[in-house]
């Protein structure tokens, strides 16, 4: 979707962090944006920030709990009433729950699945019909993480949900390819956001009853002030991350990354998979002949 001017984007988690970065960057590019967020305080602060930047005509805010399917459908209707046709959905809302799987409670698990994964489906069910209806094509961006590509054992639940988001995005991309609707898995590395403040939005039904530490860095994992300053150069601002998202929408990218420093780890992971699968050219040839749709996918062969 190379021409984004005057197109409308629906962005969840849109009143802070990467979501607010998307709202600003998209508006700078001439798009209209409906930014939905669960936190009233974030919406109020973001509203003032957008006004200060002179973008109020382009960006509107809605309060939305992305786990509430009926509310999501209502918000999609409201977005259409505000700006007309919706062309872009950014399923960006998520929680950064740092909890080991072995230490997690059932409530930790259910909350993470509800926000980080179920919300993706809810967004697609609410907004995709509106993109399909006008027949002009569009794009869906699902925010995963580098933790959806590489595991981090101190945050096993988060990793699980983000791996699922990558798979969800790949499957949806293949489904929608013939409808001129692109899908991207957005896998940011370090971005300067408040995602670790997620506990402030934990609903009572998922109250934290855990015992012991939530997760986080392993013992002895600490940095000097000098190293902290150097590490800061490896993080992106929300606006920098959002610029890459906008580029990915325009180029119909399958994956959108912000952190090339993870390349070595990604290569190690896929080399480990390759080694474990072995090498049998005859079986590979037969499978490609008989069941090509199961042993490969055209989305992996698309030109960059």
Asked whether the predicted pLDDT for residue 213 surpasses 60, the reply is: no
Please state the pTM of the whole predicted model.
0.90
Asked whether the predicted pLDDT for residue 171 surpasses 70, the reply is: yes
- Is residue 158 annotated as a catalytic residue, yes or no? yes
pLDDT category at 65 given cuts 50, 70, 90 is very high
Least confident of 94-98, 126-130, 150-154, 278-282: 150-154
Asked whether the predicted pLDDT for residue 215 surpasses 60, the reply is: no
Q: What is the rounded average pLDDT of the residues 158-165?
A: 97
Per the prediction, the chain carries an average pLDDT of: 91
Give the residue with greater pLDDT, 226 vs 298.
Answer: 298
128 vs 20, 34, 170, CA distance in Å? 22, 15, 16
Asked whether the predicted pLDDT for residue 204 surpasses 90, the reply is: no
| Active-site pick, 152, 158, 255, 300 | 158
The domain locations on the chain are 8-258, 265-297
The answer to whether the CB of 256 falls within 8 A of the CB of 248 is yes
Note the pLDDT tens digit of each residue in 3-47. Answer: 999 999 999 999 999 999 999 999 999 999 999 999 999 999 999
Least confident of 14-18, 115-119, 187-191, 269-273: 187-191
Residue listed under structure tokens 């459908």: 73
Top-level CATH class of 8-258?
alpha beta
User: Buried (b) or exposed (e) across 148-177, using 16+ Cβ within 10 A?
Assistant: bbbebebbbbbbbbbbbbbebbbebbeebe
DSSP 8: E
Note the pLDDT tens digit of each residue in 107-157. Answer: 999 999 999 999 999 999 999 999 999 999 999 999 999 999 999 878 999
Question: So what's the pLDDT on residue 202?
Answer: 76
Residue listed under structure tokens 């509800």: 114
Tell me, letter by letter, the H, E, C secondary structure of 208-237: CCCCCCCCCCCCCCCCCHHHHHHHHCCCEC
The two beta strands, 32-37 and 8-12, are parallel
Give the residue with greater pLDDT, 225 vs 56.
Answer: 56
Cα(248)–Cα(11) distance, integer angstroms: 15
pLDDT category at 233 given cuts 50, 70, 90 is confident
The answer to whether the CB of 60 falls within 8 A of the CB of 82 is yes
Number of residues assigned to the chain: 304
Asked whether the predicted pLDDT for residue 217 surpasses 90, the reply is: no
């Amino acid at each position: 979707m190379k021409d984004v001017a005057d197109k409308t984007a629906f962005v969840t988690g849109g009143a802070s962090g990467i979501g607010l970065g998307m709202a600003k960057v998209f508006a700078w590019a001439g798009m209209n944006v409906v930014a939905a967020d669960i936190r009233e305080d974030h919406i109020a602060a973001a509203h003032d920030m957008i006004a200060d930047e002179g973008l109020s005509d382009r960006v509107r805010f809605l309060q939305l709990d992305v786990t509430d399917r009926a509310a999501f459908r209502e918000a999609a209707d409201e977005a259409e009433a505000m700006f007309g046709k919706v062309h872009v959905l950014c399923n960006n809302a998520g929680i950064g729950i740092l909890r080991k799987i072995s230490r997690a409670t059932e409530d930790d698990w259910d909350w993470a699945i509800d926000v980080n994964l179920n919300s993706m489906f809810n967004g697609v069910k609410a907004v995709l019909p509106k993109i399909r209806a006008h027949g002009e094509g569009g794009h869906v961006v699902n925010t995963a993480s580098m933790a959806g590509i590489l595991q981090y054992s101190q945050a096993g639940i988060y990793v699980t949900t983000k791996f699922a988001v990558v798979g969800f995005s790949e499957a949806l991309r293949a489904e929608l390819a013939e409808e001129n609707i692109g899908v991207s898995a957005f896998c940011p590395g370090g971005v300067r956001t408040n995602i670790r403040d997620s506990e402030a939005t934990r609903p009572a039904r998922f109250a934290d009853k855990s015992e012991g530490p939530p997760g986080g860095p392993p013992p002895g994992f600490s940095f000097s002030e000098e190293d902290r300053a150097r590490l800061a150069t490896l993080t992106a601002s929300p606006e920098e991350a959002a610029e890459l998202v906008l580029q990915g929408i325009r180029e119909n990218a399958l994956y959108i990354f912000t952190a090339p420093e993870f390349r070595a780890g990604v290569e190690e992971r896929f080399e480990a998979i390759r080694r474990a699968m072995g090498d049998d050219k005859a079986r590979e040839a037969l499978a490609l002949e008989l069941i090509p749709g199961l042993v490969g996918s055209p989305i992996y062969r698309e030109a960059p």
